[in-house]
Amino acid sequence: MTTATTTPNSAAKQSSGAPVIQMIGVSKWYTPEFQVLDACSTSVQKGEVVVVCGPSGSGKSTLIKCVNALEPFQQGDIFVEGVQVNDRATNLPKLRSRIGMVFQNFELFPHLTIMENLTLAQRKVLKRGKDEADAKARKLLQRVGLSDQAPKYPGQLSGGQQQRVAIARALAMDPVAMLFDEPTSALDPEMVSEVLDVMVELAREGMTMMVVTHEMGFARKVANRVIFMDKGAIVEDVPTEEFFGSPRSERAQLFLSKILSH
Amino acid sequence: MFSNFDFQVIIDALPYLFLQGMVFTLKLTLLAAIFGTIFGTVLALMRLSGVWPLPQIAGAYVNFVRSLPLLLVIFWFFFLVPFIAQKMVGSPRPIPIDPFLTALITFSLFEAVFFSEIMRAGIQSLPKGQVAAGYALGLSYTQVMRRIVLPQAFRNMLPVLLTQTIVLFQDTSLVYVLSLNDFLGIAGKIGQRDGRLTEMYIFAALVYFLISFAASQAVRRLQAHTAIIR
């Protein structure tokens, strides 16, 4: 195991009390020989924005997919608002509905309109009525600047627009935290900023966020902490200024020099 | 051979051929396609479920039925099921089962195997992220399947399902072995009665060809129309 992974209480806006997301020694193996996660521990307080970065294949995406049990893991525990994710008795659909997730490839449902994409889970999971779900969807579409796209299908929208719809779809469930899995990696360069703008606004409004991304500008701007992963382990878990000022591990220094040098 | 080709025998037989024979054939085809698709979808979901022993059961069924000639299955059902029913009910003699029902059950069970392979391909062709996105929103397995996976799989596979239905339409002619009055059965009976087998079989071939060909052209058009934009 590499360096220790305790949470520094750096973020000014983080409140005391139980963290929204808490991971304790999470390990995962694909095969007995191939370990993807190596005793990862961290926590995310209410209102905190944590950026997870690291070289590809370091387990960042796998780690955040463990938070809402999209990926199973063999060792350790994860708690979301005190509810144990890896407990067989946990009502997973209910727990997942409280955590929003945005995927690299948007994953809007192509056979449903934008409106239906935003209302499906509201109605089926939260049992909201049609009027309430529609109103909520409209409000969120307006917020991400896509009010006029409601009757269209995802295939008719640009990548940046689709990702903004995906964010709105996750927000429609009134989540306590949002997970972002490389939300801008599949986008054309000119569309990256429109998605980041929405995320920055969300962060400033106090949303609890865990973001896997290579966008270091975003990290500098809004992240309270940066987690650096390598080979499945959390190598650094430090306040943002500290990470960009003087990363302690050589790995992180190398990584930063590679992505910030141009 | 064609010098004495008798068109009149065909014209006289038209009402019987179409109003009874073709109606029977189409009814059997459509109902078997519907039940076959439903049962096939269940088989596909079982195979992909990963919940022991469902994939094993579905896989064994698919492999078993696929290895049998359709004709054998038809005979098997027609001659054995009355005896099985007799045993089950404890009746003194074999319980005759309506031949149409026999044919429908046979074709549904048999075709389900092919429809299940089509649906399985359709489900597997969807990006894994679609299922993950559904779960991430808090939808249950049933809701993810019903609202997200199956509608897309069905729509993507509709042309293949319909093409398989056209094959089924041709295969239903095998019920002639049960002396059922499907289109080909009636054509054969009239041909034998009037000694005009050439006329009747040529005409039957023409009708099967025209319907199947027109249907596959329609499927091709539909294919361009229903493709989901990604």
Read off the pLDDT of residues A161-185 as tens digits, 9 standing for 90 and up: 999 999 999 999 999 999 999 999 9
Nearest by CB to residue A110, choosing from B138, B147, B228, is: B228
Average pLDDT estimate for A179-206: 96
Answer yes or no: is pLDDT of A111 > 70.
yes
Answer yes or no: is pLDDT of A158 > 50.
yes
- Higher per-residue pLDDT: A85 or A4: A85
Number of Cβ atoms within 10 Å of the Cβ of B101:
11
CB contact under 8 A, B147 and A120: yes
Q: Which of A109, A118, A171, A178 to mutate to test the interface with B (most CBs of B within 10 A)?
A: A109
Residues of chain B contacting residue A111, judged by C-beta atoms under 8 Å apart: 151-152, 155, 228
Q: What is the pLDDT of residue B229?
A: 56
Answer yes or no: is pLDDT of A201 > 60.
yes
Residues of chain B contacting residue A107, judged by C-beta atoms under 8 Å apart: 127, 129-130, 132-133
For B75, residues 6+ apart whose C-beta sits below 8 A from its C-beta are B177
Give the pLDDT confidence of A133-151 residue by residue, as tens digits: 999 999 999 999 999 999 9
Residues of chain A contacting residue B130, judged by C-beta atoms under 8 Å apart: 107, 109
- Is CATH 1.20.120.330 correct for B7-229? no
CB contact under 8 A, B129 and A107: yes
Work out whether strand A75-80 and strand A21-29 pair parallel, antiparallel, or are unpaired. antiparallel
Give the pLDDT confidence of A208-250 residue by residue, as tens digits: 999 999 999 999 999 999 999 999 999 999 999 999 988 778 8
Give the pLDDT confidence of B99-113 residue by residue, as tens digits: 888 899 999 999 999
For A110, residues 6+ apart whose C-beta sits below 8 A from its C-beta are A153, A154, A155, B152, B228, B229, B230
Question: Which chain A residue has the Cα nearest residue B131?
Answer: A107
CB A165 within 8 A of CB A114: yes
Q: What is the pLDDT of residue A116?
A: 98
Question: Which chain A residue has the Cα nearest residue B144?
Answer: A121
Answer yes or no: is pLDDT of A5 > 70.
no
Residues of chain B contacting residue A120, judged by C-beta atoms under 8 Å apart: 137, 139, 147
Dihedral angle of Cα B24, B29, B35, B41, to the nearest 10 degrees: 180
Q: What is the pLDDT of residue A16?
A: 56
Q: What is the pLDDT of residue A104?
A: 96
Q: What is the pLDDT of residue A259?
A: 81
- Could you tell me the sign of the dihedral formed by the alpha carbons of B101, B104, B108, B111, in that order? positive
Out of A255-259, B22-26, B198-202, pick the least confident.
A255-259
Average pLDDT, chain B: 92
Count the alpha carbons within 13 Å of B176 in the hemisphere toward its beta carbon.
12
Query: Touching check for B1 and chain A: CB below 8 Å?
Result: no
Q: What is the pLDDT of residue A257?
A: 86
Q: What is the pLDDT of residue A186?
A: 94
Work out whether strand A177-181 and strand A209-212 pair parallel, antiparallel, or are unpaired. parallel
Q: Which of residues 182-221 of A touch B (CB under 8 A)?
A: none
Residues of chain A contacting residue B152, judged by C-beta atoms under 8 Å apart: 109-111
Question: Which chain B residue has the Cα nearest residue A179?
Answer: B136
Considering all CA atoms of chain A, what is the largest pairwise distance in Å, rounded to the nearest integer?
55
Q: What is the pLDDT of residue A152?
A: 97
| DSSP helix/strand/coil, B79 | helix
Distance, CA of A96 to CA of A105 (rounded, Å): 19
| DSSP helix/strand/coil, B48 | helix
Residues of chain B contacting residue A155, judged by C-beta atoms under 8 Å apart: 228-230
Q: What is the pLDDT of residue B83?
A: 87
Nearest by CB to residue B138, choosing from A97, A108, A109, is: A97
Sequence spans of domains, chain B: 7-229
CB A47 within 8 A of CB A20: no
Q: What is the pLDDT of residue A13?
A: 43
Work out whether strand A99-102 and strand A177-181 pair parallel, antiparallel, or are unpaired. parallel
Its pTM stands at 0.88
Distance, CA of B169 to CA of B73 (rounded, Å): 17
Give the pLDDT confidence of B164-223 residue by residue, as tens digits: 999 999 999 999 888 889 999 999 999 999 999 999 999 999 999 999 999 999 999 988
Query: Percent of chain A at pLDDT above 90?
Result: 85
Query: Touching check for A109 and chain B: CB below 8 Å?
Result: yes
Q: What is the pLDDT of residue B77?
A: 85
In this prediction, residue A58 has a pLDDT band, given cuts at 50, 70 and 90, of: very high
Residues of chain A contacting residue B158, judged by C-beta atoms under 8 Å apart: none
CB contact under 8 A, B130 and A107: yes
CB contact under 8 A, B136 and A173: no
Q: What is the pLDDT of residue A250?
A: 87
